[in-house]
Each structure stands twice: as structure tokens, then as C-alpha cells.
Amino acid sequence: MGWAVFLPSSHGILDRIGVLEPMRATGLPIPDANGGANAGGPRFQGGGAIRVIAQEVTTANAGGRLVAIGTAQALRSVTLTSEVAGTLEDVMVSSGEWVDEGTLIAQLNSDVQQLALARAELGLRDTEVRAARVAQLRESGSATQVQIDDAELALSRAQLDLRDAQLELSRRQITAPVSGWIGLITLEPGNQVTPNTELVRLDDRSQLLVNFDVPERFVGLVNVGDTLDASPLSRPNEVLAGRVRAIDARVDQGNRTLRIQGEIDNDGDRLRPGMAFRITMPLPGEYHPVVDPLAIQWDRGGAFVWALDSENRATRTGIEIIQRRDDAVLVRADLSAGDSVVLEGVQNLRPGAEVDIAEMRAAPATPSDADIAHHPLPDAEQPETPPDI
């Protein structure tokens, strides 16, 4: 049988002994004895078309995904301290309470400052009365320019004294600079505080900022506004949608990483700053043909598939594997969406063989980027989108 298939010059002998036609009748791929120097290999004559199972080719994006671990922080976080030293007189809020911007949080003892404010107010009223008298004299022409200048100067000083007294009093009132949630309060009225004493922490956690580091090879692949998925490590089945808020201006020379900051909504206030998150981001890539792993064949020349032309004849098409996925392989090849490749029956195929498609299967499924596992390639051929980190 091997003579008939691979040695066309033997056909004369086989025909004389009466076995050539019976062999063709069994379906063996016996080429024409004339050899055929046609492009794509010899054409097959006799024996009918080879029955195969084929599959349609589709295309998919070869992009990968970025995976990293990040730590969350509040959208705005403020540690409240006193501007001056003093005795804590009262705390107006409770731990875990929501406060609006400008809410009075704590009060230091301010007896001295209140007295100074009363004196400043009294001094201002006295100065205003004197300034009014000088103004009347000026209208009648009885006031000298020196008296007028002295009255205006005294009024300005009194106004400044009042503002200074008000400022000193306000420095003993600690107010919320932003809206947010009060943290744990550990101080009690009567405690002595200094400018270094932490009174309370205030967090606006309506949104969380998640900071994470990626290798420098991702520079240029991630941009502000790109979407991301964040899953708390404590709740791996919970996925939150977010986006890239900011990217650091430089790569850390110590560990060759780039700091990226994402943001996610904290609906229902279920998450807290300091939590760890698993960040996943799809990365862009080129579109490539997708074939079933069963269609891929190997020989000394490398990987190839049997593609079918418009006349359902087999064509050997070389491929380069780009990515392997669960039930599909992305390849670089002269294939387009809608083309057909042979899955089963390849053992009888030769270039130019006519085939009979017994079954045409649908194109292989292309899973989401979350399921991508890159096929290792030489460094010079690595795609721009690297595998998970």
C-alpha cells in the first residue's frame, strides 16, 4: 500500500497485477502517476474525497491581563491635631460618627482667649466712637490732619487686635476640614494636648484609592482612565469595578516597579482603608486567528494546520503559536475568520487532497481575558502584553 501512495512510478506494476483500482476503491489517497508538479503538491485522483471533521476559524484579542495586590486608602484622610498646647475641655463627637465639613470636633480651654476677645471688642468700640468724633470735626473744619490720621490709625489697630483675638480663640477649636467618618477617640476632657498630639483621624471613604506596583515592562500599557477589577482578599468572590486614577511619574529605581493608583466606589460603606485588594486589568493586544488544539500538527518544519480552500482541498498552512487558552490556541498564520481547518481525518491528508466535510463544528470559544495563560515564546517574539504578574 505504501508503494501506491508514496511511489507513483509503481502504479504500472500494481495495475498489471490487478490491485491498483481495488486499493483506490478502499479510499486510499493514491496520487496520479503523472506526478503533478502543481503548486501545493500533487492532486489526488480516484478513491473519492477524504472524509474529515472541520472547524470554522475565528479571531480573538491576544491581550493579557495584569494582576497585582494593592492596599486601599481613604479618598481623603486627615489626622486632626491642635495648633496650640492646652487642656482638652470637651469632645463634641463620638467614634464612628459621620461629620460634615466645618463641624466642631473638640474644644480646648479658652478662658484667656475669650477675655482677650472681649477686650479687643471693647477697644474697637471705643476707637470707633473717637473716630466718629474726629469725622464730625473734620466736616466742620475744626480737626487737624494729625488728629484725623491718628484716629484712622487707632481704628485700624483696634480692628487688627480684634482679628488677632478671634484667631487665637479659633485655634482652640478643632473643626473638621472635610466630611467623613470619625475614627477611634482615645482622649478625654482634661487631657493635656500639644501640637504633636493626635486627637482623632477623619476618613472620607465614600471612595477608596488602591495603590499597587507593577513591573516596569507595563509602562505605556496602563493609562489613566483604564478600567480595573478589585477583589478584597478577604472576599475573593466579590468583584468591584474601578478605574485608574493616577500613575506615578517615574519608575522606582530600587525595585524597578511603577506605582499605580486606582479608585473604587465604596457603596454602603462596606470596605475600609488598609484592606488588601487583588487588582485585575485587561491589557490590549492584536487580533489573531483562533483554532482548536486538535487542528495543530507538527513535523520537522514546525507547527501547521490543514486549511481548506474554496474547493474543499487541503492546504498545509504553517502557524506560530501566540497564546494557549483552555480550549483554543491563538496563532499567527495566513488564516482569516470564517476559514476552515481540519480537526479529524488529518492522517490521510496531503497537499491538494479533496475532502468531504462530514461535520463542520462551530468556532472555538474565546474565553475572557481573566482566563488567559500565555504560551512561552523566545524573548524576541514575546508579545507586548506579558502574562499575569
Q: Where does residue 158 fall: left (phi above 0), alpha (psi -120 to 50 degrees), or beta otherwise?
A: alpha
My answer on whether 102 and 184 are in the same domain is yes
My answer on whether 190 and 319 are in the same domain is no
* 21-65 confidence digits (pLDDT tens): 666 656 555 555 444 333 344 444 445 789 999 999 998 877 777
Q: Is the dihedral of CA 340, 344, 350, 355 positive or negative?
A: negative
What cell does 168 get?
A: 487665637
What percent of the chain is helix, strand and coil (3-state, nearest 5)?
Answer: 25, 40, 40
| Burial group, residue 348, by CB count within 10 angstroms (0-12, 13-18, 19+) | middle
Domain termination site, one of 282, 309, 338: 282
88 CB-side CA count, 13 A: 23
Rg (Cα) of the chain, in Å, rounded? 41
Domain termination site, one of 282, 303, 318: 282
The reported pLDDT for the residue numbered 262 is 96
**Can you state the angle between helices 145-170 and 111-140, rounded to 10 degrees?**
160
389 residues of the chain, pLDDT tens digit each: 555 555 555 555 655 565 556 666 565 555 554 443 333 444 444 457 899 999 999 988 777 778 999 999 999 999 999 989 999 999 999 999 999 999 999 999 999 989 999 999 999 999 998 888 888 887 777 778 888 888 889 999 999 999 999 999 999 999 999 999 999 998 889 999 999 899 999 999 999 999 999 988 888 889 999 999 999 999 989 999 999 999 999 999 999 999 999 999 999 889 999 999 999 998 877 788 999 999 999 988 899 999 999 899 999 999 999 888 778 898 999 999 999 999 999 888 999 999 999 999 988 876 544 343 333 323 333 333 333 44
The reported pLDDT for the residue numbered 3 is 52
Domain containing residue 240: CATH number: 2.40.30.170
The dihedrals phi and psi of 308, each to the nearest 5 degrees, come to -110, 135
My answer on whether 231 and 131 are in the same domain is no
My answer on whether 103 and 117 are in the same domain is no
Q: Is the dihedral of CA 243, 249, 254, 257 positive or negative?
A: positive
The reported pLDDT for the residue numbered 241 is 94
The reported pLDDT for the residue numbered 25 is 59
Is residue 117 assigned to a domain? Answer: yes
Task: Identify the bridge partners of residue 50 per DSSP, sorted by sequence position.
Answer: 355
Is residue 35 assigned to a domain? Answer: no
Per the structure, how many domains does the chain have? 3
> Are the C-beta atoms of residues 209 and 259 closer than 8 Å to each other?
no
Does the predicted model carry a pTM greater than 0.75? Answer: no
Which residues are CB-neighbours of 238 under 8 A, at least 6 positions away? 231, 232
My answer on whether 181 and 246 are in the same domain is yes
The reported pLDDT for the residue numbered 217 is 84
At 97, is the secondary structure helix, strand, or coil?
A: coil
Whole-angstrom distance, CA of residue 187 vs CA of residue 277: 32
At 159, is the secondary structure helix, strand, or coil?
A: helix
My answer on whether 94 and 190 are in the same domain is yes
The reported pLDDT for the residue numbered 68 is 93
The reported pLDDT for the residue numbered 251 is 94
What cell does 186 get?
A: 482615645
| Domain enclosing residue 119, as ranges | 110-171
Per-residue b/e over 170-204, b at no fewer than 16 CB within 10 Å? eebbbebebebbbbebeeeeeeebeeeeebbbbbb
Whole-angstrom distance, CA of residue 190 vs CA of residue 206: 33
The conformation of residue 219, written as its DSSP 8-state character, comes to T
Q: Is the dihedral of CA 221, 226, 227, 231 positive or negative?
A: positive
Is residue 239 assigned to a domain? Answer: yes
My answer on whether 191 and 259 are in the same domain is yes
* 190-247 confidence digits (pLDDT tens): 999 999 899 999 999 999 999 999 988 888 889 999 999 999 999 989 999 999 999 9
Is residue 39 assigned to a domain? Answer: no
My answer on whether 141 and 261 are in the same domain is no
The reported pLDDT for the residue numbered 382 is 35
The helix or strand, by DSSP H or E, that contains position 254, with its residue range, turns out to be none
